[in-house]
A and B are shown apart, each in its own frame.
Chain A
């Protein structure tokens, strides 16, 4: 087990099983490099969400080790670890009793940032996700559209400038047009911020469009890690079966 790894996140022989059940993750080895967008592609139940939760220690590996910035997640203080890792999910989980501004400012506040710095950051990050502060800061989540809510979720995840961002099908519930918009903006934003992103999807075209590298997951293990070009060129029958579902130029299903 390399302590001095240059990887942002590394899975070393990780098993994860809920007591008495079959393993959800078995002997998984993965390395996510700094500043890349790393896609986890697989069908439902392949263990994608479990992998994200192992990274921010909502779950702990049964055996093996998950390392974040070279340190086992078990050695991190879980609160400190999670504050270095933004978390955005499909259901978003915005706090319905808090305004957009309060939602976004929560972690900076918990980190005891100065008032001025929080206000500046909220303005900056809302602008980055395309929601001008004057117009949106004091709205409640139920006053927003699905796409706007997802933007707030992203802003909240990025507010405290985490070096790592976990995204669990964040655009899954959006209409195709909004989704394509957000995907394009996300790519620009990620390039600009240089955040390391681990992104879960079951959508092949989303994986190809957003990912620097794509891990194909099946039954809690990886069937290989590919760049989009490698994925498209692979002659592996399993990868080809995946590719069949994807028609270049077609809108997301």
Chain B
């Protein structure tokens, strides 16, 4: 059976697992953005925390993904459901590029612009919202882009703990020694990563447009 025949006969399952994959990745990215951007802002305001937080983040990145899934398994609320666990682990991996780039982008904002913004009577929140975040946005998005690609890849491993997603095909194919089954998981995951990369890249270009 060719790969094409395999995909036509299994397209419903492929679609289901692709959507499942997308769901895991979306939740993980959402969580990571919700935590990562505020943490990046905090690092700009509290330089003393920088080494600790970025260091901790780096350590998380060095834990092999399969091990991280395993390590989180005994945690009470998380271990109860495989997808909960997978989303948490994926969010942890996505955190580093988002935190680091948020910090980096904010630290590159022209200090004169910030001083004038403050001097003309904007509150801290207004300076952040009107000046710092928009100017840092392209760099922050660079981190989001990287995080999205990483997360889509690592999410295939979530199938090992029964969280579903395109990894189901990959693990099944490995067990069956059937390349068609492996490809049915790997190809959609790769396409998803490319599409995410391209779309976020476009948004980045759009935001970079009016600059000195």
Residues on A close to B: CB < 8 A? 53, 56, 58, 79-83, 85-87, 89, 91-98, 106-107, 110, 140-142, 156-157, 166
Picked from B110, B122, B210, the residue with its CB within 8 Å of the CB of A110 is B122
Q: Is the CB of B211 within 8 A of A96?
A: yes
- Which of B44-52, B127-135, B146-154 participates in binding chain A? B127-135
Judge whether B112 is part of the interface by a CB distance below 8 angstroms.
yes
If A82-B121, A89-B115 are given as contacts, then 5 extra A-B residue pairs at C-beta distance below 8 Å, sorted by A number, are A87-B116, A92-B116, A95-B130, A106-B120, A110-B121
Q: Is the CB of A142 within 8 A of B210?
A: yes
Residue ID in chain B nearest A52 by CB atoms: B119
Q: Is the CB of B113 within 8 A of A87?
A: no
Picked from B112, B130, B135, B210, the residue with its CB within 8 Å of the CB of A106 is B130
Cα distance, A83 to B211, chains bound together (Å)? 27
Q: How many residues of chain B get a CB closer than 8 Å to chain A's CBs?
A: 20
Residues of chain B with a CB closer than 8 A to A141's CB: 212
Q: Is the CB of B212 within 8 A of A87?
A: no
B91-121 interface code vs A (CB 8 A; 1 in, 0 out): 0000000000000000000101101111111
Residues on B close to A: CB < 8 A? 110, 112-113, 115-123, 126, 130-131, 134-135, 210-212
Picked from B112, B121, B126, B130, the residue with its CB within 8 Å of the CB of A93 is B112
Given contacts A106-B130, A142-B211, A93 and B122 within 8 Å (CB-CB): no
Given contacts A83-B121, A106-B122, A140 and B115 within 8 Å (CB-CB): no
**Chain A to chain B: the 8 pairs with minimum beta-carbon distance, closest first:** A93-B116, A82-B121, A83-B121, A87-B119, A140-B210, A142-B212, A91-B112, A93-B112
Q: Is the CB of A95 within 8 A of B113?
A: yes
